[in-house]
Homo-oligomer: A and B are copies of this chain.
Amino acid sequence: MIKNIITISREFGSGGRSVGQKVAERLQIEYYDKDIIRQAAEESGLGEKYVEEYGEFSPSADRFAYNFVDLIEEGTSPLIKLWQVRKKVIRELADKGPCVIVGVGADYILKDRPDCLKVFLFADEETKKKRISELFEDADLKVRNRIHNMDIRRKINYEFFTGQEWGKAQNYDLAINSGTIGYDRCVDIIVDAAGRSE
């Protein structure tokens, strides 16, 4: 079956965004990542800064507990609201036409679409550290600390909302080690797996 939607979940530093952009270019389809966050912010009225904070960098362990209490006691939480808005936005984008979506839990949100190819990109620690230090060469200490905990935050966030284990091969169609396979070949493989003519 031809895959219209390609979701790419990824460990931080495994090149997910770059690979995703190249896949979209090769297939001449739309590419989304931060745009979804921005659109979610506009629709929800939560404010872009807030959504960046809680959406991209996701809840830390402390925030996780805090927000969970929020949810139980008041029935709502800004984080839950963001997730609901995000689900709506992603489903609408997927309905609009073929696209690549990097991160934002899109694999789970679109899991019932048979035309969705779910990819997980990962890499060994050395490869990821090298890439992260290239990307964030001039980052200050605060950003560096966030980067350090990025995968932990992503994992907590993903598992909180989806109830699934983040990065478990069986939750995806394809899991690729970009460190050993190389970014360009990752692009080839994903394009091939999508079954769309270029």
Is A52 an interface position by the 8 A CB rule?
no
Chain B residues near A177: list those with CB within 8 A. 169-170, 172-174
**A167 part of interface (Cβ distance < 8 Å):** yes
Closest B residue by C-beta to A191? B192
Q: Does A122 contact B (CB under 8 A)?
A: yes
Task: Tell me whether A168 is interfacial, beta carbon within 8 Å.
Answer: yes
Complex formed: what's the CA distance from A176 to B185 in Å? 15
Pairwise interchain contact A189-B193, C-beta atoms closer than 8 A: yes
Question: A32 on the interface (CB 8 Å rule)?
Answer: no
Nearest neighbor of A177 in chain B, beta-carbon distance: B173
- In the bound complex, residues from chain B placing their C-beta under 8 Å from that of A167 are 169-170
Query: Are the C-beta atoms of B169 and A180 separated by less than 8 Å?
Result: no
Closest B-chain residue to A123, C-beta based?
B170
When distances are taken between beta carbons in the complex, the residues of chain B under 8 Å from A139 are none
Given A120-B169, A169-B120, A169-B122, A181–B174 Cβ distance below 8 Å? yes
Is A45 part of the contact surface with B, judged by Cβ < 8 Å?
no
Give min CB distance, A164 to chain B, whole Å.
14
A195 interfacial contact with B, CB 8 Å: yes
**A169 CB contact (under 8 Å) in B175, B181, B188, B195:** B175
Q: Which residues from 154 to 182 on chain A have a C-beta closer than 8 Å to any C-beta of chain B?
A: 167-170, 172-177, 180-181
Do A173 and B173 contact each other (CB < 8 Å), given the known contacts A189-B192, A193-B181? no
A–B Cβ pairs within 8 angstroms, 28 of them: A120-B169, A122-B170, A167-B169, A167-B170, A168-B168, A168-B169, A169-B175, A169-B177, A170-B177, A172-B175, A172-B177, A173-B177, A173-B180, A173-B181, A174-B174, A174-B176, A174-B177, A174-B181, A174-B189, A175-B175, A175-B176, A181-B193, A185-B192, A185-B193, A188-B192, A189-B189, A189-B192, A192-B192
New contact pairs (7) apart from A122-B169, A175-B175, A185-B192, CB-CB < 8 Å: A120-B169, A169-B169, A169-B175, A173-B177, A174-B181, A174-B189, A181-B193
